[in-house]
Amino acid sequence: MKILMILPQAYFESKGTSFSTLNRLRVLSELGHQIDLLTYPVGKDTNIENVNIIRVPNIFFVKKVKIGPSIIKFLIDIVVIIYALKLLITRKYDLIHSHEEAGFFSTFFAKIFGKKHIYDMHSSLPQQLTNFEFTKSKVIIKIFSFLEKMTINGADGIIAICPELYEWAKNINSEANVYLIENVLDSTSDDGELVFTPKELRDKYQLNGKKIVLYAGTFETYQGLELFIKSADEVINKCDNVHFLLVGGKPEQVSIYKNQVEQKKLTDHFTFTGSVHPNEIENYYQLSDILVTPRLDGTNTPLKIYAYLRSGKPIVATNHVTHTQVLNEDVAILTDITPQAFADGIIRVLDNEKLGKKLSQEAKKLAETRYSKNHYVKQIKSLLTSLEKEQN
């Protein structure tokens, strides 16, 4: 099958949708499909067999595109629309596979050119407008809601990356052909990048003899890092030799949270690594004693949750739908969304090695049974098979 995949984002970057797209491409390639990936002019190329990356020209001279809605995204999307139209006119495709807002115009293109259309739903775009504080305009939000409903109603197949989005799509159209395909695959690459071992990382950051509480991921506001930092005082007062390791974040974001730590006079208890190579993330997990995710907002499950489950380390998470649609009290400590409650959750695990071990074992079992690569590939194959049957 020849597929035109349209990703209206910077690719590849160390963030959720990029990782999700990378793994879609890998599995589709493994299944023998040919993919043209149409995407933004910024990002890092990935080398995947059967995948041809086509970047629109950088006519706005952008160097980076931030996560979430923005004016520059809207402008680049216009260029993406023009190039998608050009590709559909000049090349033969069996299927359009759109991500995020590309679903809006791909719905029309699929009808015009008589192609099947898969809408890869990473989030509810009307919700993104408010989550990222882009606009409070009821008119704009209603327009996005209309476009989202139109896309869900018109798509031949829909991929929802978490149960909450699956239910969201089904509530809009109960007859929609929706597949729950969670982002369970790891984010490692084969670019030959050298990585530090857990021991080398402990030496590098002078962490030997310390109990490590680790957060890994983006540093967007909705991730709850301010809550995490506010919880640190209580943990430090109750637990000896505890150290907080925060992995990820852009330089300007890291600076903001470093300032918060300095204001609380906790600099000696915190280390910020900045962004690291995806291949290194697992080694950071292995040097830690606890993995945390203090997320506050959103509906989609963070990709790191599936890696956390596989890590063999105990998890402390806020009791929020982004977490609870995957995590439960058998595999993680789930806390109220307050600094005190989050601190209590961390302390509970640090003080009880037996509890931590039990949570870790149950988490690995869940990852192996429910969130495996075999299940992921099976869902992709099932979706494509359903579309091929419709064509025949």
Ordered by start, the domain boundaries in the chain are 2-184+372-391, 198-370
Average of per-residue pLDDT across 107-114: 97
pLDDT of residue 45: 93
- How confident is the model over 348-365, as pLDDT tens digits? 999 999 999 999 999 999
Say if residues 98 and 106 touch (Cβ distance below 8 Å).
Answer: yes
- Angle (nearest 5°) at CA 384 between 298 and 128: 15
Rounded to whole angstroms, the Cα distance separating 175 from 172 reads 9
Q: What are phi and psi of 238, to 5 degrees?
A: -100, -20
Q: What secondary structure does DSSP assign to 105-160, as a single string?
A: HHHHHHHHHT-EEEEEESS-HHHHHHHTT----HHHHHHHHHHHHHHHHH-SEEEE
pLDDT, the chain, mean: 93
% of residues, the chain, pLDDT over 90 = 83
pLDDT of residue 177: 96
Q: What Å distances lie between residue 231 and 123, 164, 237, 353, CA to CA? A: 29, 28, 11, 21
Tokens of 325: 């649609």
Angle, to 10 degrees, between the axis of helix 102-113 and the axis of helix 138-154? 40
Say if residues 115 and 96 touch (Cβ distance below 8 Å).
Answer: yes
pLDDT of residue 67: 79
- Amino acid in the structure at residue 142: K
Rg (CA), the chain: 21
Rounded to whole angstroms, the Cα distance separating 80 from 68 reads 17
pLDDT of residue 242: 98
Tokens of 343: 């601190």
Q: Is 308 exposed, middle or buried (0-12, 13-18, 19+ CB in 10 A)?
A: buried
pLDDT of residue 318: 98
What's 2-184+372-391's CATH class? alpha beta
- How confident is the model over 262-299, as pLDDT tens digits? 999 999 999 999 999 888 899 999 999 999 999 998 88
- How confident is the model over 6-52, as pLDDT tens digits? 999 999 987 888 999 999 999 999 999 999 999 999 999 999 999 99
The CB density around residue 58, as the number of other CB atoms within 10 Å, is: 13
Who wins on pLDDT, 372 or 159?
159
- Angle (nearest 5°) at CA 157 between 153 and 161: 100
Tokens of 294: 């203090």
pLDDT of residue 392: 60
Domain spanning 198-370: CATH superfamily: Glycogen Phosphorylase B; (3.40.50.2000)
- Name which of 355, 258, 271, 366 is nearest 309 in CA terms: 366
pLDDT of residue 326: 96
Q: Residue 66 — pLDDT band, cuts 50, 70, 90? A: confident
pLDDT of residue 116: 97
Q: Would you say the CATH fold of 198-370 matches that of 2-184+372-391?
A: yes
Rounded to whole angstroms, the Cα distance separating 16 from 390 reads 31
Q: Residue 190 — pLDDT band, cuts 50, 70, 90? A: low
Quick one: the chain helix, strand, coil %, rounded to 5? 50, 15, 35
Whether the upstream peptide bond of residue 196 has omega within 30° of 0, thus cis, is no
Q: Residue 134 — pLDDT band, cuts 50, 70, 90? A: low
**Least-confidence region, from 56-70, 81-95, 188-202, 262-276:** 188-202
Q: Residue 194 — pLDDT band, cuts 50, 70, 90? A: low
Q: Look-up: residue for tokens 């589709």?
A: 28
Rounded to whole angstroms, the Cα distance separating 216 from 63 reads 24
pLDDT of residue 255: 97
Q: What is the pTM (predicted TM-score) of this model?
A: 0.83
Who wins on pLDDT, 140 or 391?
140
Average of per-residue pLDDT across 97-103: 97
**DSSP code of residue 293:** E
Q: Residue 189 — pLDDT band, cuts 50, 70, 90? A: low
- How confident is the model over 205-244, as pLDDT tens digits? 999 999 999 999 999 999 999 999 999 999 999 999 999 9
Say if residues 177 and 386 touch (Cβ distance below 8 Å).
Answer: yes
- Angle (nearest 5°) at CA 324 between 384 and 381: 10
